[in-house]
């Protein structure tokens, strides 16, 4: 390093020269956050509708500690697929529940993080409840920034304990435990690009079937959905961000995730979005998503007496299919001088089309479980 | 497979050009943030994980739900 | 449709010097907010680092010298002390913020040179190595020892104000505090900001223009003493206790004003080796020797 580089490095440690925010050393967030979001999800064919209300808050405590709380309420209504049957022409059709499902889910999560010099440690936990499902989880994480703050390594571990008491089957009580581990690296490549790569390992044990789904066995009748009592999942996500100064400071985001589990499913996800600043503190983000997966090794649309085994499912989420999605998001920020430093308004709409024929490599299962869904979100974020 | 990934990562990292601390301004812009809107990101990931088999990679607290 | 920005000009007195700030904004709310943020920044820095205020943080530290009582410091003071340490190391001890006590021996009102005894007494109170400090506290162990951030704070203020305005979306502007300049960004039409440096050897000013970065100067052509016909600068060498003799004036261009300022002071402290030192470290500079000869080195990036 030359003399001027050495002195510049020392100068940049001065709080007044920090880029992007007037934060002090020790922790990135000095401000209080309050965020509220409303989201709506709706499927085609008169299927499921969900309304979500979420409130999040973050508060700094002293110099190094940050506390967070998150509250969610989901209201779910509409119909849901139960099984597939073969109609009189021998073709497979999906059979939906009556449109009278009404469900409410409430969840609370809290977290605490502590900032050392280059290391950040966090703990958290939460609970989520529906009338037939209770989940409690704990998580912990640590991240370490080094290499002149150009590289960050992160590790997180979480465990969840779930209990399912299905409606109409009041004598049945099932449980499930899950553990998930993530390790990731975030690396500044050059002054215009950033890369993040995360790998997760998850292991689930217990009751993993869906109590509201069944399979149709030709010549026999209906059997309950029955899946293995354990599941191992592996995912590798890589995210890339690139800055285009000449295009009015736009940024390209590209994500690819590879997923493999021991139920035989491999999935690929590709997401692309273009973040374009326009006018004063407005940002418009068009985005595209493509997803493909193959079917689980115990999945069949319908079964017959010869090929039904102990483990079997016709769940539309375990078959082979692809999803194509497009969306648009708009955000507007207001920077102020008073007690409230920043207010951001955001709105987004996405449309997704899920079809068996979109699966990579093709799929001749037919379109009986194809559907589309759209999502709308609106939120307000405040910093003070 | 692990060895190949590790080697590729090390080669990739050493190929990164050094960024002077005062050149980090672009990376701090809101359009460059990996998680610009945590609530929306969580909602999207939750939706996709309820309708598809894939999950993981993004972090999040790992709580469960009976989403079907 | 983007409206056209308009120019805001501010002229005022702060940190003991005339200040001129210019920047472009899109609406009056932005102008109002920027002005208040600048005022807040400067008054805060004066309140903490002004030697002339008895209640400033720096005065508190100086008053407690030799008393046994240490003073708690915040992240900013720690950053400045670390920066001063870096300068001390880079200059082999010439840049020493404890050399403020020397000032009492040299000053515009003195008619004669201080005696060797007086110089020896003063040198006992100087020495960066003597400071006792941790990341949270600082203490000057000998009564009479003084810390003086005079050579750093004005330039740090220019950098801080530029960053505060940048954080608020202001991309075009120039800050000048008593001759120390920091540019926020080019003018909206893409042009650089014109800057003039006083050339001490003749009446002509040196003209240049900068798109970004900073310029800071050090020199004795405005503040100096004439004793027995010999010119003594106001920049004092802590090792000898005497003013430096070498370059008459030097201006440095670099990214950060605080760095430009320290390098300019360092070049002056190097005395007769100043010019060689500037060249050896490949710095961008203008300088004027004692006999009036000027030299300069500007790499291409500063002219873009």
Chain A residues within an 8 Å CB radius of C285: none
pLDDT on residue A142: 95
pLDDT on residue A337: 60
Both tokens of A260, joined, read: 């493999």
pLDDT on residue C107: 60
Chain A residues within an 8 Å CB radius of B61: 109, 111, 124, 126, 137, 139, 158
Query: Per-residue confidence at C28, pLDDT binned at 50, 70, 90?
Result: confident
In a domain, C102, yes or no: yes
CB environment A254-288: b (16+ within 10 A), e (fewer): ebbbbbebebebebbbebebbbbbeeeeebbbebe
pLDDT on residue C303: 47
Helix or strand (DSSP H, E) at C276: helix C274-280
Q: Does A1 score more than 90 pLDDT? A: no
Strand-pair partners of A127: A108, A136
In a domain, A263, yes or no: yes
Both tokens of A89, joined, read: 């022409």
pLDDT on residue A199: 97
Chain C residues within an 8 Å CB radius of B29: none
Q: Does A21 score more than 60 pLDDT? A: no
Q: Nearest CB to A251: which of B17, B32, B54?
A: B32
Q: What is the mean pLDDT of chain A?
A: 89
Backbone angles phi, psi at C188, to 5 degrees: -55, -30
| Record: contact B54-A354, CB cut-off 8 A | no
- Domain hosting residue A277, numbered range: 81-383
Q: Does C226 score more than 70 pLDDT? A: no
| Record: contact A16-C80, CB cut-off 8 A | no
**Residue C60 has what DSSP assignment?**
H
Q: Does C290 score more than 90 pLDDT? A: no
pLDDT on residue C119: 77
In a domain, A69, yes or no: no
Beta strand spans in A245-320 (E): 250-261, 266-278, 282-293, 303-304
Q: Nearest CB to A15: which of C76, C169, C283?
A: C76
Other Cβ atoms less than 10 A from the Cβ of A340: the count is 15
In a domain, A158, yes or no: yes
C77 half-sphere exposure, CB direction, 13 A CA radius: 24
| Contact residues of C toward A, CB < 8 A | 2, 26, 32-33, 36-37, 41, 75-76, 79-80, 82-83, 86-87, 90, 156-157, 159-160, 163-164, 166-169, 254-256, 258-259, 262-263, 281-283
Question: C155 to chain A, minimum CA–CA distance in Å?
Answer: 11
Beta strands C180-185; C173-177: pairing state: antiparallel
Looking at per-residue pLDDT, the higher value among A258 and C292 belongs to: A258
Looking at per-residue pLDDT, the higher value among B33 and A21 belongs to: B33
Looking at per-residue pLDDT, the higher value among C51 and B5 belongs to: C51
Both tokens of A200, joined, read: 């997760």
Contact A333, A355 (CB under 8 A): no
| Record: contact C169-A3, CB cut-off 8 A | no
Q: What percent of chain C has pLDDT over 70?
A: 86
Q: What percent of chain A has pLDDT over 90?
A: 60
| Record: contact A199-B57, CB cut-off 8 A | yes
pLDDT tens-digit readout, A129-143:
998 899 999 999 999
pLDDT on residue A26: 31
Any idea what the CATH number is for the domain that residue A292 is in?
2.40.160
Query: Per-residue confidence at A293, pLDDT binned at 50, 70, 90?
Result: very high
Chain A residues within an 8 Å CB radius of C90: 3, 6-7
Q: Does C301 score more than 80 pLDDT? A: no
- Lowest-confidence segment of A101-105, A368-372, A374-378 by average pLDDT: A101-105
In a domain, C65, yes or no: yes
pLDDT tens-digit readout, C210-220:
888 999 988 76
Contact A18, A7 (CB under 8 A): no
Q: Does B14 score more than 70 pLDDT? A: no
Q: What's the predicted TM-score (pTM) here?
A: 0.64
Looking at per-residue pLDDT, the higher value among A42 and A167 belongs to: A42
Of the candidates A121, A125, A153, which has an alpha carbon nearest to the alpha carbon of residue A69? A125
pLDDT tens-digit readout, C52-82:
888 888 888 998 998 888 888 888 888 899 8
Q: What percent of chain A has pLDDT over 70?
A: 95
- Report yes or no: A213 at the B interface, CB cutoff 8 Å: yes
- Domain hosting residue C119, numbered range: 57-139
Strand-pair partners of C182: C175, C214
In a domain, C93, yes or no: yes
In a domain, C35, yes or no: no
> Average of pLDDT values for C163-190?
90
Q: Does C238 score more than 80 pLDDT? A: no
Domains of chain A: total:
1
The residue of chain C nearest to residue B23, with distances taken between CA atoms, is C255
pLDDT on residue C3: 63
Any idea what the CATH number is for the domain that residue C123 is in?
1.10.3980.10
pLDDT on residue A28: 40
> Average of pLDDT values for A236-244?
96
pLDDT on residue A67: 95
pLDDT on residue B16: 60
In a domain, C244, yes or no: no
| Record: contact B27-A194, CB cut-off 8 A | yes
Give the integer Cα–Cα distance in Å for A354 and A290. Answer: 10
In a domain, A14, yes or no: no
| Record: contact C90-A3, CB cut-off 8 A | yes
In a domain, A52, yes or no: no
pLDDT on residue A63: 73
Within 36-75 of A, beta carbons closer than 8 Å to B belong to 37, 39, 41, 52, 54, 56
Q: Does A18 score more than 50 pLDDT? A: yes
Q: Does B9 score more than 70 pLDDT? A: no
Q: Does C2 score more than 80 pLDDT? A: no
- Lowest-confidence segment of A295-304, C236-245, C259-268 by average pLDDT: C236-245
Domains of chain C: total:
1
Chain A residues within an 8 Å CB radius of C254: 4, 8
Q: Nearest CB to A137: which of B44, B55, B63?
A: B63
In a domain, A9, yes or no: no
pLDDT on residue A25: 31
Of the candidates C280, C55, C58, which has an alpha carbon nearest to the alpha carbon of residue C150? C58
pLDDT on residue B6: 63
What ipTM was estimated for this complex? 0.88
Q: Is C63 helix (H, G, I), strand (E, B) or coil?
A: helix
Chain C residues within an 8 Å CB radius of A21: 167
Question: C87 to chain A, minimum CA–CA distance in Å?
Answer: 7
pLDDT on residue A24: 33
pLDDT on residue C207: 79
Question: B30 to chain A, minimum CA–CA distance in Å?
Answer: 9
> Average of pLDDT values for A76-101?
80
| Record: contact A237-B56, CB cut-off 8 A | yes
């Amino acid at each position: 390093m030359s003399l001027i580089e050495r002195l510049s490095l020392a100068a940049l440690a001065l709080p007044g020269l920090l880029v992007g925010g007037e934060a002090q050393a020790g922790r990135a967030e000095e401000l209080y956050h309050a965020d509220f979001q409303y989201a709506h999800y709706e499927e085609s064919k008169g299927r499921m509708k969900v309304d979500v209300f979420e409130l999040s808050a973050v508060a700094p405590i002293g110099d190094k500690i940050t506390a967070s709380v998150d509250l969610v309420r989901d209201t779910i209504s509409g119909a849901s697929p139960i099984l597939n049957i073969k109609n009189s022409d021998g073709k497979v059709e999906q059979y939906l529940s009556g449109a009278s499902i009404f469900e409410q889910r409430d969840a609370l999560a809290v977290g605490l993080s502590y900032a050392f010099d280059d290391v950040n440690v966090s703990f958290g936990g939460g609970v989520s409840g529906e009338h037939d499902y209770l989940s409690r989880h704990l998580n912990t994480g640590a991240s370490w920034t080094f290499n002149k703050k150009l590289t960050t390594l992160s590790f997180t571990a979480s465990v969840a304990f779930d209990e399912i008491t299905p409606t109409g089957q009041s004598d049945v009580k099932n449980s499930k435990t899950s553990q998930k581990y993530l390790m990731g690296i975030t690396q500044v490549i050059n002054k215009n690009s950033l890369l993040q790569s995360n790998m997760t390992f998850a292991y689930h044990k217990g009751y993993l079937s869906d109590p509201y789904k069944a399979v149709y066995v030709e010549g026999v009748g209906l059997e309950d959905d029955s899946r293995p009592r354990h599941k191992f999942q592996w995912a590798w996500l890589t995210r890339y961000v690139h800055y285009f100064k000449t295009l009015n400071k736009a940024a390209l985001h590209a994500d690819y995730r590879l997923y493999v589990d021991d139920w035989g499913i491999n999935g690929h996800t590709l997401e692309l979005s273009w973040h374009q600043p326009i006018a004063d503190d407005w940002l418009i983000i068009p985005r595209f998503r493509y997803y493909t997966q193959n079917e689980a090794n115990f999945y069949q649309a319908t079964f017959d007496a010869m090929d039904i085994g102990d483990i079997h499912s016709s769940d539309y989420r375990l078959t082979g299919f692809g999803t194509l999605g497009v969306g648009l998001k708009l955000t507007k920020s207001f920077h102020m001088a008073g007690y409230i430093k920043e207010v951001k308004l955001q709105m987004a709409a996405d449309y997704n089309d899920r079809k068996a024929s979109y699966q990579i490599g093709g799929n001749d299962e037919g379109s009986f479980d194809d559907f589309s869904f759209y999502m709308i979100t609106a939120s307000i974020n405040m910093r003070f | 497979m692990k060895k190949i990934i590790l080697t590729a990562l090390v080669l990739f990292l050493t190929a990164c050009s050094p960024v002077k601390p005062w050149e980090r301004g672009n990376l701090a812009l809101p359009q460059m943030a990996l998680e610009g809107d945590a609530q929306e990101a969580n909602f999207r990931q939750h939706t996709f994980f309820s309708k598809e088999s894939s999950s993981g990679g993004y972090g999040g607290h790992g709580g469960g739900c009976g989403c079907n | 449709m983007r409206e056209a920005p308009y120019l805001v000009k501010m002229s005022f007195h702060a940190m003991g010097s005339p200040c001129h700030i210019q920047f472009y904004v899109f609406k009056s709310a932005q102008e109002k907010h920027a002005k208040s943020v600048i005022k807040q920044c400067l008054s805060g820095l004066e309140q903490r680092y002004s030697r002339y205020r008895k209640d400033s943080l720096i005065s508190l530290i100086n008053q407690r010298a030799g008393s046994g009582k240490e003073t708690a410091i915040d992240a900013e003071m720690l950053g400045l002390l670390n920066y001063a340490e870096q300068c001390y190391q880079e200059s082999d001890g010439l840049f020493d913020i404890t050399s403020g006590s020397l000032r009492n021996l040299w000053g515009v009102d003195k008619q004669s040179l201080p005696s060797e005894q007086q110089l020896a007494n003063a040198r006992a109170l100087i020495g960066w190595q003597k400071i006792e400090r941790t990341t949270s506290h600082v203490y000057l162990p000998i009564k009479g020892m003084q810390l003086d951030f005079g050579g750093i704070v004005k330039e740090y203020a220019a950098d801080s104000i530029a960053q505060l305005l940048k954080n608020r979306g202001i991309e075009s502007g120039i800050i000048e505090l008593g001759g120390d300049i920091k540019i926020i960004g080019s003018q909206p039409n893409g042009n650089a900001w014109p800057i003039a440096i006083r050339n001490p050897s003749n009446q002509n000013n040196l003209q240049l223009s900068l798109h970004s970065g900073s310029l800071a100067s050090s020199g004795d052509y405005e503040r100096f003493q004439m004793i027995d016909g010999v010119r003594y600068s106001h920049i004092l060498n802590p090792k000898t206790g005497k003013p430096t003799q070498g370059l008459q004036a030097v201006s440095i261009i670099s990214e950060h004003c605080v760095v430009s300022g320290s390098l300019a002071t360092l070049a002056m402290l190097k005395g007769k080796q100043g010019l060689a030192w500037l060249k050896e470290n490949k710095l961008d500079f203008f300088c004027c020797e004692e006999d009036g000869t000027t030299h300069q080195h500007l790499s291409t990036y500063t002219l873009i």
